[in-house]
Amino acid sequence: MPAVPASIPTSLKLPGALKLQLEEDAKQMGLSLHAYMLSTLADAAKRKRLRQQFAQDSVDALAVMQSTGKGHALADVRVYFSQLKEHRRGKGAPPAALRPKKMG
């Protein structure tokens, strides 16, 4: 893989209204416009990759479920996350781990 330069100059032509909005957002966060745009672009790229990974994880989980015939009932998942929410609020014990069950 070729070396990637630490920084590559680029330019953006922004609509005036958008630039004003970005400047205001940057100011509210105590950042320069440049730093704010870099952070925003990095966040967007990270979210895209997280969405891609989530989609792949879903495909992989479905394949495992189809090959093994085991999975989690929706009702069990809802109870688990309800208990987890209460635990994180300090109002209950951690939920027991979900165990796959024969589906169908």
Give the per-residue pLDDT at 64.
94
Mean of per-residue pLDDT scores for the chain? 95
Give the global pTM. Answer: 0.69
* Cβ atoms of residues 68 and 35 within 8 Å: no
Classify each residue of 58-77 as buried b or exposed e, where b means 16 or more C-beta atoms within 10 Å of its C-beta.
eeeeeeeeeeeeebeeeeee
Give the per-residue pLDDT at 5.
86
pLDDT digits (tens, 9 = 90+) for 6-44: 899 999 999 999 999 999 999 999 999 999 999 999 999
Tell me the residue ranges of DSSP E strands in the chain.
Answer: 70-71, 101-102
* Cβ atoms of residues 51 and 60 within 8 Å: no
Give the per-residue pLDDT at 4.
85
Q: Is 80 exceeded by the pLDDT of residue 104?
A: no
* Cβ atoms of residues 65 and 101 within 8 Å: no
Confidence of residue 95 (pLDDT cuts 50, 70, 90): very high
d(CA 66, CA 100): 12
